[in-house]
Amino acid sequence: MATTDHSTNYLCHHGLLLPKLAHSEESIQFSMAFEVQDEDIFAVTYPKSGTTWMQEILPLILNGGDLTPVQTIPNWDRVPWLEETRAALVLGDRPPPRAMVSHWPYHLMPPSFYTSKAKVIYVTRNPKDIAVSSFYFHGMASFLDDPGTFDQFLDKFLSGQVMFGKWTDHVKNWRNTDIEGRILYMTYEEMVQDLRAAVLRMAQFLGQELSPDVLEKVANHCQFNNMKTNIMSNYSLVPQDVLDSSKSPFLRKGTTGDWRNHFNAEQEARFSAIIKKEMEGTSFKFPWDDE
């Protein structure tokens, strides 16, 4: 396997840094051997793009708005990460349809995924806001390398020296797939702007008919302020020496455009130039392109 021990905090798998706290050679093996079924559903994200949000939304879409799982099961067991160590424990005997999340790039999905009819919702977010969110996350998560200053962290982020590598690689990789028809592209921004419409779009893609009342209930429950108080979703169950919410809460701001409060003009120009160059030749448009 193309996995090496990179540092105290990370494994390096096919060039991607993976935090050792939640990933191991065994968990990667499990993910590769995982038998994806046609009914399975994946929410795929680059870290800090809306993963936890999808762990709240997906079960509610699939069960018609029953709040029981989101109020009784921690998000990491409710909709587990395919590549993380807990997957083997919680996915082992779970029958399809299984809702899962993953940060894998397209080419590292399990072989059975490509031949299955499993559906994917790929959520992306303005990389400037991801960088800000990730900076605070590195400051509060003891299992990640210290972010350094914001300026130093931007360099790490842009060069892919963060978990799961470069944002541009991830996004381009998932736009260039052979699974047209079973992948839905969503943005964090459209979810913030109109969550009800976003949930409806996802439900339609998944073939789930939700009544207007259920749709309202799901959108309301998944609002940032409601998730922030849900102990099954706000990471307050994780010990403070692992995630220190006194440094920054996991559910931090939940907004778009917070980068404006963090980037200076030089950082903005540097960041935009690099992202623009790496996205050259792609045809897809994002809501933040013209900002």
Please choose, out of 19-27, 61-69, 213-221, 251-259, the segment that lies near ligand PPS by the rule CB under 6 A. 251-259
* Residue number with CB closer to ligand PPS (6 or 253): 253
| 221, 60 contact by CB (below 8 A) | yes
The answer to whether 86 contacts ligand PPS (rule: CB under 6 A) is no
Q: Does 50 bind ligand PPS (CB under 6 A)?
A: yes
224 lines the binding site for ligand PPS (CB under 6 A): yes
Tell me: does residue 45 bind ligand PPS (CB under 6 A): yes
Tokens representing residue 158 in the block: 């842009």
Nearer to ligand PPS, 175 or 252 (CB): 252
Pairing of strands 16-19, 10-13: antiparallel
Query: Is residue 138 annotated as part of the catalytic site, yes or no?
Result: no
**Beta carbon nearer to ligand PPS, 9 or 112:** 9
- Judged by CB under 6 A, how many residues of this single chain contact ligand PPS? 20
Residue with smaller CB distance to ligand PPS, 19 or 96: 19
| Closer residue to ligand PPS (CB): 116 or 125 | 125
Q: Taking contact as CB under 6 A, which single stretch among the options 84-92, 202-210, 236-244, 253-261 is the one that binds ligand PPS?
A: 253-261
Q: Is 222 in the site for ligand PPS (CB under 6 A)?
A: yes
Smallest separation, CB 230 to ligand PPS (Å) = 10
In which residue are the tokens 């940032």 written?
224
For residue 98, the surrounding DSSP H or E stretch is none
Residue 185 is classified by DSSP as E
> Is residue 3 classed exposed, middle or buried when 0-12, 13-18 and 19+ CB atoms within 10 A define those classes?
middle
Indicate the length of the chain as a whole number. 291
Nearest Cα neighbor of 124 from 61, 233, 52, 51 is 51
Tell which residue, 250, 238, 258, 190, has the closest CA to residue 86: 238
- How crowded is residue 221: how many other Cβ atoms within 10 Å of its Cβ? 18
User: How far is residue 180's CA from residue 217's CA, in Å, rounded to a whole number?
Assistant: 31
207, containing H or E segment: none
Contact stretch for ligand PPS (CB under 6 A) within 34-42, 50-58, 83-91, 280-288: 50-58
Out of 27, 30, 36, 51, point to the residue binding ligand PPS (CB under 6 A): 51
- The residues binding ligand PPS (CB under 6 A) are 45, 47-53, 129, 133, 136, 192, 222, 224, 227, 251-254, 258
Cite the active site residues. Answer: 103
